[in-house]
Amino acid sequence: MSKIKKVLIANRGEIALRIIRACRELNIKSLAIFSEVDIAGIWVRKADEAYPIVGNPVEAYLNYKKIIDIAKRNKCDAIHPGYGFLSENADFAAACSEAGIIFIGPKAEHIELFGDKMASKVAMKKVGVPVLEGINEPISDIAEGERISKEIGFPVIIKAAFGGGGRGMRIVYKEQDFKELFESATNESMKYFGRDEMFIEKFVQNPRHIEVQIVADKYSNVVHLGERDCSIQRRHQKVIEIAPSPRLNHETREKIYKIAVEGVKKIGYESVGTVEFLVDEDDNIYFIEMNTRVQVEHPVTEVISGIDIIQRMIEIAEGDKLKYTQDEISFKGFAVEFRINAEDPKLNFMPRVGKITNYMAPGGPGVRLDTSLYSGYDIPSNYDSMVGKLIVYSLTWEGTVKKAKRALDEFFIDGIATNIPLHRAIVCDSDFQEGKFNTGYLDEKLEKFNLDAIDFMQEEEQKLQKLQDMLQDIKSNNQFIPKGGEFLY
């Protein structure tokens, strides 16, 4: 029986709904918080209880003192942060512990460690994890950065030392471009993270972005749940995630599992987490970062492993031991996640918000949809553009690609622009179908894709009109078979 009786969900949208479902299966009550613009959110109604936070819509999910106060006043045992917002805020995790509330995630010290890219790189290197050549201390001086880059050798990548998600990141191929790109990266880092410190490392051209999902309890038991290929990216933001990678050979796969598990165990990490690597054309492996939260792409791992990652997070937070050893975990088939964003592919993927006038979701065997959308929902402009995740599964890679194409052809959202046309173009591409992609895939392909959205509702109205005409024809002629001898549109 669960030790936790009620969980406050410090998040919104599809991840809040996902956590509510996990809690319900564990017989745990859920409390949703919501900003003023989120009052119509479906997760607010699906939770057992809901509590508003008045004020700025973004700050509502960042004010951890108020969130903890709400949890205490509503007798919540624990808080689940989801992803984004406060999920990687070490002060929040520590404040929960001080208030006697269970933080469903890792220890504050590990959130702090891996939130600092430089410190985490040094720490992982100490425990034997391979890292890219680069500096060990963050810098903000352009001249020093240029000198270091010359020593490393171009191309180099500049990254915000206290950020993520592709923000504050620039690739410098030539020495003469360094100053402009360094200034651009520091300005963006200051805007999004309030810090302008950067670190510089060797840039690996067109690698595969491979991440390993790990689960670790409080008793030094650590297992992996396989890898995900997150190579298909736009502007360093993940677009599609795949489990397992269709191109990773067995030897490299086993090596990367061992590196991830042993590194995490030596660090003493608890909860779920994701160790992210770059794998170059020669299968050399380089650690880049660790995410101390549930990942957006966790569903593909759940599908191929049969393990509910959110529920495991809750059980570990309660102090339970892992219920299985590595030998008892098996993987079957391939799963692909398509991030559905409210953005216009024809206008350089500019975010688009507004009311959903018509909504038709895909379904059938091997199709999962994690979203909080519904017809009539008004998407607010205050948050990230991702509005859902389409996950498809089949026993073979070929079967998964076919299922993805079918599911995407069924998926229509009217009233706003989405990136569904991009996903349709990708699954029809021969290189994707053959599993041939790396982090440079979209840079190479994007201009060649046809990203015109289908006017689905016009097509549907035309079909309906034809059916109505056919029915009228049958009635007026008092016959079963309409003129022409067919029922086709």
- Which residues are identified as catalytic? 293
- Kindly give, in sequence order, each residue whose CB lies less than 8 Å from that of residue 197, ignoring residues fewer than 6 positions away: 138, 139, 140, 160, 161, 162, 189
Whether a cis peptide bond, with omega within 30° of 0, leads into 155 is: yes
Give the separation between CA 76 and CA 67, rounded to whole angstroms.
11
C-alpha span between 268 and 290 (Å, rounded): 14
Helix intervals (H) in 81-194: 90-98, 108-115, 117-126, 142-152, 178-193
Q: What is the C-alpha to C-alpha distance for residues 438 and 206, in angstroms, rounded to an integer?
A: 6
Q: Which two tokens stand for residue 356?
A: 């959903």
Closest CA to 210 of 253, 149, 267, 179: 253
Q: In 3-state terms, what secondary structure has residue 83?
A: coil
Q: How many residues does the chain have?
A: 489
Q: Give the whole-angstrom CA distance, residue 16 versus residue 83.
A: 9
Helical pair 250-267 and 117-126, crossing angle rounded to 10 deg: 100
Distance, in Å, from the CA atom of 296 to the CA atom of 87, rounded to the nearest integer, reads 12
CA distance 116 to 281: 28
- Between β-strands 386-394 and 233-234, what pairing exists: parallel, antiparallel or unpaired? unpaired
Gap between the Cα atoms of 215 and 225, Å rounded: 8
Q: Is the dihedral of CA 336, 349, 84, 122 positive or negative?
A: positive
Strand blocks (E) in 149-195: 156-160, 169-172
Contacts of 137 (CB under 8 A, 6+ apart): 118, 199
What is the torsion angle, in degrees rounded to the nearest 10, for the CA atoms of residue 150, residue 151, residue 155 and residue 161?
Answer: -100
Distance CA 450, CA 148 (A): 42
Rg from Cα positions in the chain? 24
Distances (CA, A) of 58 to 53, 54, 166, 333, 384: 10, 11, 20, 39, 10
Count of alpha carbons within 13 Å of 349, Cβ hemisphere only? 16
